Amino acid sequence: MTDQDKPGKAQLAEMFRDFIDAEYVIVDEETLRPYECDGLSMYCEMPLIVVLPETVQQVQRVLRICHQYSIPVVARGAGTGLCAGAMPHAEGVVLSLAKFNRILSIDPLARSARVQPGVRNLAITEAAAEHGLYYGPDPSSQIACTIGGNVAENSGGVHCLKYGLTVHNILSVEMLSVEGEKLIIGSQGLDSCGMDLLALITGSEGLLGIVTEVTVKLLPQPEKAQVVMAAFDSVQQAGDAVGGIISRGIIPAGLEMMDTHAIRAAEDFAKAGYPRDAQALLLCEVDGTAEEVQEHITQVEGLFATFGATSVRTSQSEAERALLWKGRKSAFPAVGRISPDYYCMDGTIPRGQLAHVLTEMQRMSDEYQLRVANVFHAGDGNLHPLILFDANVPGEFEKTEEFGARILELCVEVGGCITGEHGVGIEKIRQMPIQFNEQELVQFNAIKDAFDPAGTLNPGKGVPTLRHCQEHRALETKPAPASMTTKGAA
What confidence category does residue 42 fall into, taking pLDDT thresholds of 50, 70 and 90? confident
User: How does strand 219-220 pair with strand 182-186?
Assistant: unpaired
Mean pLDDT of the chain: 92
Residue 236: what pLDDT?
87
Judge: domain 340-472, CATH 3.30.70.2740: yes
Residue 369 pairs in a beta bridge with none
Answer yes or no: are the C-beta atoms of 342 and 387 closer than 8 Å: yes
Q: Is the pLDDT assigned to residue 482 strictly greater than 80?
A: no
The pLDDT tens digits for 232-267 are 999 889 989 998 999 998 999 999 999 999 999 999
Residue 192: what pLDDT?
72
What are the CA-CA distances from residue 480 to residues 43, 67, 205, 391, 400 (Å)? 9, 30, 22, 14, 12
Residue 483: what pLDDT?
39
The residue length of the chain stands at 490
Q: Is the pLDDT assigned to residue 200 strictly greater than 50?
A: yes
What are the CA-CA distances from residue 180 to residues 57, 59, 174, 176, 255 (Å)? 9, 8, 12, 5, 42
Residue 190: what pLDDT?
72
Residue 179: what pLDDT?
98
**H/E run at residue 124:** helix 121-128
Answer yes or no: are the C-beta atoms of 314 and 301 closer than 8 Å: yes
Judge: domain 106-220, CATH 3.40.190.10: no
Q: Is the pLDDT assigned to residue 472 strictly greater than 50?
A: no
**Coil, strand or helix: which one is 254?**
strand
Rounded-to-integer distance, Cα 40 and Cα 426, Å:
10
Q: Give the CATH number of domain 3-96; options: 3.30.43.10, 1.10.357.10, 3.40.50.300, 3.40.50.2300.
A: 3.30.43.10
Q: What is the arithmetic mean of pLDDT over 349-357?
A: 89
Alpha-helical runs (H) found in 165-280: 197-201, 235-247, 260-270
Rounded-to-integer distance, Cα 288 and Cα 392, Å:
49
Residue 255 pairs in a beta bridge with 284
Q: Is the pLDDT assigned to residue 2 strictly greater than 80?
A: no
Q: Is the pLDDT assigned to residue 57 strictly greater than 90?
A: yes
Rounded-to-integer distance, Cα 473 and Cα 338, Å:
35
Q: Which positions ≥6 away from 259 have C-beta within 8 Å?
A: 235, 279, 280, 281, 358, 372, 373, 374, 375
Rounded-to-integer distance, Cα 251 and Cα 253, Å:
7
**H/E run at residue 74:** strand 73-76
Answer yes or no: are the C-beta atoms of 410 and 361 closer than 8 Å: yes
The pLDDT tens digits for 293-346 are 999 999 999 999 999 999 999 999 999 999 999 999 999 889 988 999 999 999
Same fold, 3-96 and 224-334: no
Q: Is the pLDDT assigned to residue 191 strictly greater than 50?
A: yes
Q: Where are the domains of the chain?
A: 3-96, 106-220, 224-334, 340-472
Q: What is the arithmetic mean of pLDDT over 227-235?
A: 96
Judge: domain 224-334, CATH 3.30.56.10: no
Single pTM value for the model: 0.92
Alpha-helical runs (H) found in 229-289: 235-247, 260-270
Residue 90: what pLDDT?
97
